Chain A
Amino acid sequence: DQQVKQNSPSLSVQEGRISILNCDYTNSMFDYFLWYKKYPAEGPTFLISISSIKDKNEDGRFTVFLNKSAKHLSLHIVPSQPGDSAVYFCAAVGSSGSARQLTFGSGTQLTVLP
Chain B
Amino acid sequence: KAGVTQTPRYLIKTRGQQVTLSCSPISGHRSVSWYQQTPGQGLQFLFEYFSETQRNKGNFPGRFSGRQFSNSRSEMNVSTLELGDSALYLCASSLVATGQETQYFGPGTRLLVL
Q: Which residues of A contact B (CB under 8 A)?
A: 4, 6, 9, 32, 34, 36, 41-46, 49, 51, 89, 91, 93, 98-107
Contact = CB atoms under 8 A, between A and B. Distances in A.
B103 A46 contact: yes
B97 A100 contact: yes
Interface of B: 4, 31, 33, 35, 40-45, 48, 55-56, 58, 90, 92, 97-108
A26 B4 CA distance: 31
B100 A32 contact: yes
5 contacts: A44-B105, A46-B104, A98-B98, A101-B48, A102-B92
Given A34-B102, A98-B55, A101-B48, A43 B108 contact: yes
A104 B4 CA distance: 19
Given A34-B102, A43-B107, A43-B108, A102 B45 contact: yes
Contacts, number: 65
A44 B90 CA distance: 9
A100 B106 contact: no
Contacts of B58: 101
B100 A104 contact: no
Contact of A101 (B45, B104, B106): B45
B98 to A, nearest CB: 5
A105 B101 contact: no
A113 to B, nearest CB: 23
Contacts of B101: 100
A102 B103 contact: yes
| 10 A-B pairs with least C-beta separation | A43-B105, A106-B42, A104-B43, A32-B100, A104-B42, A99-B56, A44-B105, A98-B98, A43-B107, A46-B102
A48 to B, nearest CB: 10
A99 B107 CA distance: 25
B59 to A, nearest CB: 10
